[in-house]
Structure 1
Amino acid sequence: ETSVAIEQKRITLTGPTMSGKSTLLGTLTMSTLDNGRGKSRLSMLKHRHEIASGVTSSVTQELLGYQDAPDGSVEVVNYATENVASWIDIHVASASGHLVLISDSAGHPRYRRTTIRGLVGWAPHWTLLCIPAADDERTERQRTSSTDLPLSPLNAAPDMDLVGAQLDLCLRLRLPLVVVITKMDTASRTGLRQTLTKILDALKSAARRPEILQNQPGMVSEDMLQYVDEGALLQAYSAAVPLLNDPTATVPIVLTSALDGSGIGNLHALLHELPAPREDSVTTSSALNVFHIEDIYTKLAEADGVIVSGRLRSGKLAVGDVLLLGPFLTAYSQEDSEDSDERTPRRPSSGLPTSRSFPGALRDLHLGAHFYALPGQEWKQVKVTSIRNLRLPVASLLADQVGTVAIVANDQLHGTVLPSTNAFARIRKGMVLATVQPTATKTLVAKFDREDLASLAVGNHVVVYIASVRASARIVSARAPDSPTATHDNNEEEHFSFDQDTTVQQGPDATLDGHHDK
């Protein structure tokens, strides 16, 4: 195939630890009811420690398909569908329908960086915030019994303060949002009422109108999870209509249980009816290629190649294209690898924070001139040898699609493929593949609500998230809208300065991790 033009939506699952995100994803993709001990989530976990603790520490992605049936219902295409055993089978079975890529992110505060990457990276179209329908008495008993095993799924309870913090984060980022109430089978009327009251108050304070989807009465079997009836589709369509013009106008709320299957049909219906993103004139196929790298595969594509995955922000990427890959770490820049959430980041002798995504962190903290030369950048010319869109082999990738790309080093003068050098070993998350070398910047200007300014003082260090990039920065200037003068550091006019030579591809998807120094 040349490219895949079928409608594709990207969904991110987020929420506090023990809110049932992985269990919910397992029920959606396997059409199996949980046994109350995490049966349906086992296939969603990547690492052994995740299986042992029940706590997700990485981003897991799964694919769902939806196919319209002649009787007005919708068939769910997942691993429970006949003759479906892989993502390619889901592509084939959903050829005249549409696809939904769901990413499950971490919820524990220990993995907060992974959580934020799940909200910003891969540019999700919709965010599903999972909140447990807490039973206040049961939660209190679990909290008192979970001091020794805080990560055990059988002993820990969701922290309602963390629920409020994640809801507040989604609202502050102005994300197109769906709230999924999980674990309805364990909720009391009092606990559910308290949870819903907090959610509704937060949504109304943010000028977001809630829309609760009503569950149909009766028992739900696993066979019923394979299709969505017309009644659920009509209700979801009514909730999705206001989102066509403004994705943040309303916030649908779905009440679910992976144990008894209640609300799963409504969630499938909503995933089917949520509006697809509109084509942005900036990301049309006539624009230059810019591919954000979100992950790197250690397995070689060919004898001298490597595979990277990510999202094509603009342009049209085709097999045989010659692109620039970078920026690479140079001899003039300090080591700055993508540290995981569980590792303590290495700090230079100055004690200042390091960048987690881009090479060259903390090379020169003193800000002198208003324009900066960036001598530490290095770009390699590479050639695209194969492309997959959601694991389906294709000849080209369209703007705003995600996929994996196999690349090999390319001879700039003769166009021949060269043996891979150790440069490929230095590829990291946050790099880009581009037709031309992107414009570099060392400063940026960001606007915040007034109540956030107290924690963003001049001189503080923050972490900036832009697309696949995570980089440390320092606030060098700040000014309130009604203030006649700005507060400066070293007489600089820019509001944020990256701690070292960092190339940032300009884009709207950005946030700050406010773990500033005090």
Structure 2
Amino acid sequence: MAAHSAKIPHKVGPHHLSQQSLLKDGSTSDGWVESLTSLTESVQATRLLDEEAAAQAADSRSHGHGVPAATVADGNAFEASAQAAIDALRDEVTIHSEQLLCIGESHGWGPSNLTDDQLAALLSRIRQEMDKNKAEVTVLRQVPAQQSAKKSSGGAMADILVRKRSSDCPRLEVRVAVIGNVDSGKSTLVGVLTRGLLDDGRGLARSKVFKHGHESATGRTSSIGQHNLCLDAKGGVLNDSLFRTHSCADYIARSSKVVTLVDLAGHERYFKTTAYGLTGHLPDYACLIIGANAGIVGMCKEHLGVALALKVPVFFVVTKVDICPGHVLQHSLATLSSILRKPGIKKKPYMVRSKEDVLTCARHIHTDSLAPVFLTSSVTGDGLELVKLFFNLLPQRHKWADRVDEAVEFIIDETFQVAGVGVVVAGTVKRGTLVQGSTLLLGPHAGDASFKLTGIKSIAYKRLPVAKVVAGQTAALALKKVKRSSLRKGMVLVDSSLHPKASWEFDADIAILTHSTTIAPKYQAVIHCEIVRQAARVVAMDRERLRSGDRACVRFRFLQRPEYLAIGSRFVFREGRTKGIGVVMGV
């Protein structure tokens, strides 16, 4: 662009023609949730939120379903359908390491309308075939034909989990961001889940997961903490009372799946840290903790709004039900339901009360309209088994297996200086397979925005030394000949074949959720895009002015240093009461 005043050709469509205010009464909303709930179908900003819903729904319908079901007419049809389904399952487990299947239903996996004997024979064959494939088969629920007939299901059925053993594949990793208002019980729930103990009501569980002394003194999280829930091939929880974050390598070595609980701060003072955790740590899901006695208050709404704006699927855990009066709990649930059903969010609360409900939610968590709600107590243990089962069954949201063979891209969210090791960076493998001893480009450096070659001395996955890590996993890497002072959060390690470049400017398709006046060129806001967190200025846009509810194509310019951005990344931006969302269209 020769001059910043030039207008950008915008070919997205006539979505930016709306001049309507978001709120019917003309008032200004301050919160993220209020901004979203006040959206209507006529407001153009709504479309930026809804564009991915259809694709996510289609993906969820196809997830974990092997081959289409075939009704059993005779023995030959049963045999042919069963063999085809098992062959497809073998391929799926080899690629994705895990599958959740419903056997016997008309829209499930393999042949349907089964007798009890046919179901038993089919389960036996699956176990034999998966054992050859070095995978475990766990029956989560089994319904006899007679009981199923009463529910008009048409035959015997079973829900099974197939998962590769830990020594035979890279470990599955699912990241869950734990968000919610201050004092809602986030760190307490994380401590109870990962330490194999119940809380005493006086902060015992949360004291096990705090990182800093001032957090223990105040009882409030101020930093981003990552805690691991280790699961074996049969779905059992390996964490016990001896589990410690600094000595968890033995648990990781025995686990087939790791659920990384990203414990985020709830206090308003640390909102920028929480926003960084929701973007930079690439969570698959967000777990919103709601104190039953307090309800939907304070930063609970802000965290929910950011997660929804980033298109991160959210489920809800209502804590402290043991000390909450019944009418207060009902009011909190009614408030949550009313918020979720509003046009800008359009989610259906689903109260989880049984194992069958957990299976339903785990199978359809990708759908944009489902909002599972759990009722728990960290002191009495009520509802915790259902939460653990749900974590066990949660699938990876991104198709990481499709990115394993691509060129390596590793984003850095932490840097360390380790005695005897040297400079260590921690982060997430976005694509490719990162091997010990490989040489990658590190950048962009703050001074000249360059990328410089560096070598990988060693790799640790959750403190366990490994030879390689693949797309979708987090890792800590020891680097060769790099000074700690030259590193920062927001840098990347990429393969030289990608020819990476840092960008001062980028084009984005944005939607304004809330703004008190109008937005024009030279407007400044803080951008949160994956690991990038920096102030940027609007240098050009395809309209003269932007108001609440408008959508447009805008060019931003970073104020401090150039950044490495990926086209298609979603981001949020904020400035005072102004809140907006966007997608990177070009750099």
Q: Same fold (TM over 0.5)?
A: yes
Alpha-carbon distance in structure 1 between the residues aligned to 2:469 and 2:566: 21
Partner of 1:258 in structure 2?
378
Paired residue for 1:65, among 219, 230, 239? 230
Aligned length: 403
The answer on whether the counterparts of 2:186 and 2:263 sit within 8 Å (CA) in structure 1 is: yes
Partner of 2:519 in structure 1?
457
- 1:104-119 alignment, distance < 5 Å: 104-119=263-278
Q: Tell me the CA shift for residue 173 of structure 1.
A: 2.3
Q: Tell me the CA shift for residue 318 of structure 1.
A: 0.8
Partner of 1:298 in structure 2?
417
Paired residue for 1:208, among 316, 338, 347? 347
- Higher deviation after alignment, 400-409 or 495-504: 495-504
Partner of 1:367 in structure 2?
none
Alpha-carbon distance in structure 2 between the residues aligned to 1:507 and 1:456: 27
- Bigger Rg over Cα: 2
Aligned-partner SS, 1:470 = strand
| Matching residue's letter, 1:241 | R
Partner of 1:86 in structure 2?
247
Partner of 1:352 in structure 2?
none
Alignment TM-score, normalising by the size of structure 1: 0.72
Which ranges in structure 1 are unaligned for 5 or more consecutive residues? 136-157, 215-230, 331-375, 410-419, 480-484
Alpha-carbon distance in structure 2 between the residues aligned to 1:171 and 1:83: 33
What's the CA shift string for 1:191-238, capped at 9, x where partnerless? 212211221112112111221112xxxxxxxxxxxxxxxx63x33111
| Matching residue's letter, 2:257 | H
Q: In the superposition, relative to structure 1, how do residues 258 and 507 fare at CA in structure 2: closer, same or farther (>3 Å)?
A: farther
Q: In the superposition, relative to structure 1, how do residues 279 and 258 fare at CA in structure 2: closer, same or farther (>3 Å)?
A: same
The answer on whether the counterparts of 1:175 and 1:248 sit within 8 Å (CA) in structure 2 is: no
Paired residue for 1:39, among 204, 209, 218? 204
Paired residue for 1:447, among 509, 512, 535? 509
Aligned-partner SS, 1:187 = coil
Q: Tell me the CA shift for residue 517 of structure 1.
A: 9.3
Aligned-partner SS, 1:44 = coil
- 1:85-484 alignment, distance < 5 Å: 86-94=247-255, 97-134=256-293, 160-205=297-342, 206-214=345-353, 232=355, 234-243=356-365, 246-280=366-400, 284-300=403-419, 302=421, 305-330=422-447, 376-409=448-481, 423-436=483-496, 437-449=499-511, 451-452=513-514, 457-458=519-520, 459-478=522-541
| Matching residue's letter, 1:187 | C
- 1:482-497 alignment, distance < 5 Å: 485-487=543-545, 494-497=554-557
Which ranges in structure 2 are unaligned for 5 or more consecutive residues? 1-165, 547-552, 579-587
What's the CA shift string for 1:312-341, capped at 9, x where partnerless? 1112111111111122222xxxxxxxxxxx
What's the CA shift string for 1:106-136, capped at 9, x where partnerless? 110111111011111121111101111025x
Aligned-partner SS, 2:232 = strand
By percentage of residues, which structure has more helix?
2
The answer on whether the counterparts of 2:227 and 2:245 sit within 8 Å (CA) in structure 1 is: no
Alpha-carbon distance in structure 2 between the residues aligned to 1:15 and 1:382: 39
Identity %: 28
Paired residue for 1:21, among 183, 186, 194? 186
Q: In the superposition, relative to structure 1, how do residues 299 and 385 fare at CA in structure 2: closer, same or farther (>3 Å)?
A: same
Partner of 1:228 in structure 2?
none
Alpha-carbon distance in structure 2 between the residues aligned to 1:236 and 1:199: 20
| Matching residue's letter, 1:213 | V
The answer on whether the counterparts of 2:176 and 2:283 sit within 8 Å (CA) in structure 1 is: yes
Alignment TM-score, normalising by the size of structure 2: 0.64
Alpha-carbon distance in structure 2 between the residues aligned to 1:448 and 1:16: 28
The answer on whether the counterparts of 1:464 and 1:512 sit within 8 Å (CA) in structure 2 is: yes
Q: In the superposition, relative to structure 1, how do residues 85 and 426 fare at CA in structure 2: closer, same or farther (>3 Å)?
A: closer
Partner of 2:236 in structure 1?
75
| Matching residue's letter, 1:127 | A
Q: Tell me the CA shift for residue 83 of structure 1.
A: 12
Partner of 2:98 in structure 1?
none
Q: In the superposition, relative to structure 1, how do residues 9 and 393 fare at CA in structure 2: closer, same or farther (>3 Å)?
A: same
What's the CA shift string for 1:439-489, capped at 9, x where partnerless? 33222333344543656712332111222121110123445xxxxx4449x
By percentage of residues, which structure has more strand?
2
| Matching residue's letter, 1:504 | Y
